[in-house]
Amino acid sequence: MQIELSGMVGIVTGVGKGIGKEIIMTLAREGVKTIGVDVNQEDLDQLSQEFSEEGLDGLFFNCDVRDSKMITEVVNKTIKEYGRVDLLVNNAGVAGNGEVETLPEEIWDFCHDVNLKGMYLMCKAVIPIMKRQQFGRIINSASFAAIIPSIGSAAYASSKAGVKQFSRVLAGELGPWNITVNSYAAGMIPTTLNHFSELPQEQQDRLLDSLTLRRWGEKKDIAQLICFLASDLAGYITGTLIDVSGGKYATQFPKAAYE
Ligand SMILES: NC(=O)c1ccc[n+]([C@@H]2O[C@H](COP(=O)([O-])OP(=O)(O)OC[C@H]3O[C@@H](n4cnc5c(N)ncnc54)[C@H](O)[C@@H]3O)[C@@H](O)[C@H]2O)c1
């Protein structure tokens, strides 16, 4: 059995670094015509150079997922170039911490605008195209925070819980057009979003003790899931939240198995 993605056209958001960069490079290596979106031009330039060096297929746009006009431009240019959109991966996301009593409104709005509204705007822009095609795959980045949140994560966790529930609603709405919509709950993958691997060892140990597999996740763990969900192999999976967290809190005290 093989995952066959070549010839698909896929838009990925938040590709400048971290998990999104790994996702778009993996898809491109699998033959997907990729369109990458980010707000950081320097990162996009670097990515574009890496694509050229590897001979990969990609178009890159400086686009803020909170901006519906910019999104329309990206989608129009994609259609002009490739004529279709088979896959949308809403990966762009931001963190924002603070206990509710003192949480600045700006942080609340920032998390909800990028993580939730940005995803909604991206979906809205591709739905008519996917409906015309009678085919589409939409994959949304939730988080383990949508399953069990941390203290001080009200803004982030509620935005990601929103992603999970939004994805289920959209799956229901788009089922008749053979469009699947899923979300995934990534666990702890060290990136510039969380700086996990730079924490003092004691704090790292505390976090690792919550994981059944007791090791950090890797960006490729997510990229491989995206390839599977985008492929025909996952054609009967929709409306679900997939947990990719190394079994975070699968049992109450995962650490006990290591003692
Ligand atoms: N790393 C983890 O352990 C983890 C865990 C759970 C969920 N996630 C989710 O995975 C996704 C990627 O996280 P990461 O760790 O790679 O983060 P990251 O900070 O390394 O990368 C996020 C990317 O999104 C881009 N971005 C931010 N705001 C944007 C906007 N308004 N429009 C377009 N692009 C924007 C950033 O420029 C950056 O390139 C996020 O949605 C995050 O919430 C990550």
Decide: helix, strand or coil at residue 172: helix
Residue position matching structure tokens 């129009």: 76
- Output the pLDDT for position 39: 98
Each residue's pLDDT tens digit, 33-46: 999 999 999 999 99
70 CB under 6 A from ligand 1? Answer: no
3-state secondary structure of 196: helix
Q: Which of 82, 120, 156, 249 is catalytic?
A: 156
- The string of DSSP codes covering 132-152 is HHT-EEEEEE--GGGTSPPTT
What band does 57 get if pLDDT is binned at 50, 70 and 90?
Answer: confident
Catalytic status, residue 156: yes
Please say whether the beta carbons of 244 and 221 come within 8 A. Answer: yes
The mean-pLDDT minimum among 14-23, 68-77, 160-169, 191-200 falls in: 191-200
Helix (H, G, I), strand (E, B) or coil at 32: coil
- Substitution site in 193, 195, 207, 241 for ligand 1 pocket (most atoms within 8 Å of beta carbon): 193
Write the pLDDT tens digit of every residue in 61-115.
999 999 999 999 999 999 999 999 999 999 999 999 999 999 999 999 999 999 9
Domain ranges of the chain: 9-192+218-248
**Which CATH number describes the domain made up of 9-192+218-248?**
3.40.50.720
Q: Is 188 in the pocket of ligand 1 (CB under 6 A)?
A: yes
Full DSSP string of 197-216: GGS-HHHHHHHHTTBSS-S-
Is the per-residue pLDDT at 221 higher than 90? Answer: yes
pTM above 0.85, yes or no: yes
The rounded percent of the chain whose pLDDT value lies above 70 is: 100
Percent of the chain with pLDDT over 90: 99
pLDDT of residue 231 exceeding 90, the answer is: yes
Evaluate if residue 129 carries a pLDDT over 90.
yes
